[in-house]
Copies of this chain bind each other. A is one copy, B any other.
Amino acid sequence: MIHVAVFGYGTVGKGVVEVIDRNNDIVSAASGDKVSVKYILDLLDFPGDPNEAKIVHDVNVIISDPEVSIICETMGGTGAAYKFTKAALEQGKSVCSSNKELVAKHGAELMKVAKEHGCTYLFEASVGGGIPVLRTLTTALTAERITRIAGILNGTTNFILTKMEEEGAGFDETLKTAQELGYAESDPTADIEGHDTARKISILSDIMSGHFVDSDNVPTEGITKIDKSDIALASGAGFKIRLLGIGDRYDDDSVRTMVAPFLIEKGHPLAGVCDVFNAIFVTGNILGDTMYYGKGAGKLATASAVVADVIDAARKGSSTMYCGWDETPVKAADSSSAKSRYFVRVSEADAAKAKALFEASTDIGVSDGKAGFITGPVSDSAVEGLDKSVIENMIRIYE
């Protein structure tokens, strides 16, 4: 019997218990022995819940139980989750996590602790929910030098951008719809300001580079400034707007990361990713482009990824580990001369004045009294120095 404990009986924790229960024959067969949830750690009691008897409030009950070999950490945050994860690893218990915040901040250290104690720290569910992108990067694309990872990594913002386009609606009303449907939280800041995406692209960039990419250092721009006229103008010119997390790795092993909305040509596979779906586009030096698509969040998709890690931990014990990164900060690429083309939105009256700011520009039309044009390549430093008084919004073109 493989005894599992779940830390945190929230949405994902409940999903983990449900997946282990519903697919127990498959999960047990793949693990090589029957898998069973012995404890659930939570502050609350859940009276009436079918798993009520498994709830414990003291983490030490679990950590001191030699029968428990695998922990699923679905608590979130970097406080208790960090302390409990470390304590479990130090007892030789493998930990499978969906906690992107903790992985982004302390992943390197926790993998090291796991290695020292003959167990493993896995976290497929922390990026891309049910999309097995970490395992793909570390076990399948092993013959490749990965040069770019670009992902639609947040379902909430992708839902909002898709709905704004489909319904010609504004940002605020669409956010409200997303909240009513349960696709956005009551405090949506982490999603709409891009922080959630920043954490995920740093984890992906950690793996790509082998070094620590601090999510606090990722230049991060969310989608709150996007107006329905941006989407209408972009659409008329053959583009969709998507919030991307991007990590670029250069020949000198420096890395540039960024979270920002981009205009993506409609023919590009990332442009076809709609609603709450996520997708990660990976470029290798030999393979070229590949893309991995699926549900990036949600109770069961995320739980399925956690349970796949449980199976891996059960199968291979300490011998499985995502290609770890170390705690050394990655070398940051000098991006001051990096150039991008931009979509620019201005009021019709200011179009001539705005266009004069750029060496080259191509009109793409007018919508709702707003004019749109696309600039030639402009460096980041030039953009910083621009007099933006008449510019209402600028969004990079993805290329």
Chain A residues engaging chain B, CB cutoff 8 angstroms: 19, 22-23, 26-27, 30, 124, 130-132, 135-136, 139-145, 267, 269, 271-274, 277, 284-295, 300-301, 303-305, 307-308, 310-312
Asked whether A131 lies within 8 Å of B290 as measured between CB atoms, the reply is: yes
Please determine whether B293 and A143 come into contact, CB atoms closer than 8 angstroms: no
Residues on the B chain within 8 Å of A300, using CB? 286-288
A269 touches B272 (CB 8 A): yes
User: Closest Cβ of chain B: how far from A354's Cβ, in Å?
Assistant: 33
B residues less than 8 Å from A291 (CB atoms): 291-294
* Complex Cα spacing A283 to B278, Å: 15
Q: How far is the CA of A26 from the CA of B26 in the complex (A)?
A: 35
> Contact partner of A23 among B23, B145, B272, B292, CB < 8 A?
B145
Point out the residues of chain B lying under 8 angstroms from A139, CB to CB: 135, 139, 312
Instruction: Determine the distance from Cα of A303 to Cα of B300 in the docked complex, in whole angstroms.
Output: 35
User: Is A292 a contact partner of B293 (Cβ separation < 8 A)?
Assistant: yes
Q: Are B308 and A288 in contact (CB under 8 A)?
A: no
Q: How far does the alpha carbon of A312 sit from the alpha carbon of B23 in the complex, in Å?
A: 28
Which of B143, B272, B307 meets A311, CB within 8 Å?
B143
Q: Which residues of B contact A311 (CB under 8 A)?
A: 142-143
**Do the beta carbons of B294 and A130 come within 8 Å of each other?**
no
In the complex the two chains form, is A269's CB within 8 Å of B288's CB? no
**For residue A144, which residues in chain B have a CB less than 8 angstroms away from its CB?**
23, 26, 304
Question: If A269-B272, A291-B293 touch, does A132 touch B143 (CB 8 Å cutoff)?
Answer: no
Q: What are 25 sample pairs from A and B whose C-beta atoms fall under 8 A apart?
A: A22-B285, A23-B143, A26-B143, A30-B143, A130-B290, A131-B290, A132-B136, A132-B141, A132-B290, A135-B140, A140-B308, A141-B308, A143-B307, A144-B304, A267-B272, A269-B269, A269-B272, A269-B277, A284-B304, A287-B294, A288-B300, A290-B292, A290-B293, A290-B295, A291-B294
For A25, the closest partner residue in chain B by CB is: B145
Q: Are A286 and B132 in contact (CB under 8 A)?
A: no
Chain B's closest residue to A281 (CB) is: B293
Contact B288 A301 (CB under 8 A): yes
Instruction: Report chain B residues within 8 Å CB of A22.
Output: 285-286
